[in-house]
Amino acid sequence: MPKDGIWMFSVVLALAAGWTDWRSRRIPNWLTVPGLLLGIIANAVAFGWLGAKASLLGACLGLAVLLPFVALRSLGAGDWKLVGALGAWLGPYRLIAVLVITVLIAALMALFVIVTTGRVRRTVHNLAHMAHSLVTFRMPPAELTLDDPSSAKIPFGIAVAVAVILYTGAYAVHAAGWSL
């Protein structure tokens, strides 16, 4: 495998995380912590200091972008650590693309759950409260967080896995010179 494709190992990490999130609604530390460390090591070995730097920047970006959502209890810590680990494999620029795709997929998943469970009005109300909490730097009420057992939740790890697969698939198609 050429050195520039080392980040494609992120697919393995994303698939494992998506699977565990689907099965148990958790993404374990035994997957994310070694994933982060291996991403940094692999990039450092392949590209030297520049690879290590890009890997660390990707990990820090992933962790920094999602930290407010973890702090507000609207995203799980396993999801947060997964994105940090993927940032270590992908670097900051690829991670941004994957995060954009992930947000779109997660939004579609959430929309499906909202519509099929008849929670449209409640969701709009909850989103307004979450936005207010984010802007005012206050914790939202417990019924608007992951702590509420009655709230509808989507497995973010699956959205991340699908996004990584779509991104790497599109890259592979492009690299092979095929057109979509």
The answer for 118, left when phi > 0, alpha when psi is -120 to 50, beta otherwise, is left
End-to-end distance of the chain based on CA atoms, in angstroms? 23
Per-residue pLDDT of 69-110, as tens digits, reads 888 788 899 999 999 999 999 999 999 999 999 999 999 998
Q: Are residues 39 and 46 in contact, defined by beta-carbon separation less than 8 angstroms?
A: no
> Is-contact 83 31, C-beta < 8 A?
no
More confident residue, 1 or 55: 55
**Whole-number pLDDT of residue 119:** 80
- Distance, CA of 169 to CA of 176 (rounded, Å): 11
Record the tokens describing residue 101, joined without a space.
């795709």
Mean pLDDT check: name the lowest of 21-25, 35-39, 61-65, 176-180.
Answer: 176-180
Per-residue pLDDT for 49 more than 50? yes
Domain ranges of the chain: 3-175
If you ran DSSP here, which 8-state letter would residue 151 be given?
S
Four-residue CA torsion sign, 15, 36, 108, 118: positive
What is the predicted pLDDT for the residue at 142? 67
SS3 content of the chain, % helix, strand, coil (to 5): 80, 0, 20
User: In angstroms, rounded to a whole number, what is the distance separating the alpha carbons of residues 8 and 21?
Assistant: 21
The more confidently predicted of residues 147 and 161 is 161
For 74, residues 6+ apart whose C-beta sits below 8 A from its C-beta are 130, 140, 144, 145, 146
pLDDT of the residue at 173: 84
Show the tokens assigned to 97. Answer: 């693309």
Say how many residues make up the chain: 180
Q: DSSP label at 4?
A: G
* Residues above pLDDT 90, as percent of the chain: 58
What does the pLDDT read at residue 179? 66
